[in-house]
């Protein structure tokens, strides 16, 4: 039987392991896209999502079209590109082998 060589991590130790810089960068990216909507559009999007309880099928046709328009304006593809750029930037430094320069 194998025994665990280390004790389980405490909540504080697990919290310290979180890459907080990355979490903050993700928050900035999401905030930038969220703020690309006007205050009125943000309020309406929030209202539609709240009313639908996360299920667009529970909205009427006009509301569903409005929800789709607002989500498209958020540019989910742009959010994905920005988040992938963060991931690539973080991986690039560690992924290089030493002495691989030509």
Structure confidence by residue, pLDDT tens digits, 32-75? 989 989 999 999 999 999 988 888 888 899 999 999 999 999 88
User: How many domains, the chain?
Assistant: 1
Residue 84 lies in a domain: yes
Q: What does the pLDDT read at residue 61?
A: 92
Q: Which range of residues forms the domain containing residue 61? A: 37-89
Task: Check if the beta carbon of residue 33 is closer than 8 Å to that of residue 41.
Answer: no
pLDDT at residue number 93: 52
Could you give the CA distance from residue 8 to residue 93 in angstroms, rounded to a whole number? 30
Q: Residue 54 falls within a domain, yes or no? A: yes
């Amino acid at each position: 039987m194998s025994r665990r060589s280390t004790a389980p991590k405490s909540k504080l130790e697990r919290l310290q392991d979180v890459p907080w810089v990355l979490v903050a960068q993700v928050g900035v990216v999401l905030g930038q896209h969220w703020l690309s909507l006007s205050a009125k559009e943000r309020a309406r999007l929030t209202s539609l999502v709240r009313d639908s309880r996360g299920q667009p099928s529970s909205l009427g046709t006009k509301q569903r079209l409005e929800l789709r328009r607002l989500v498209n304006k958020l540019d989910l593809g742009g959010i994905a590109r920005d988040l992938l750029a963060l991931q690539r930037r973080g991986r690039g430094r560690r992924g290089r082998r030493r002495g691989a320069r030509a």
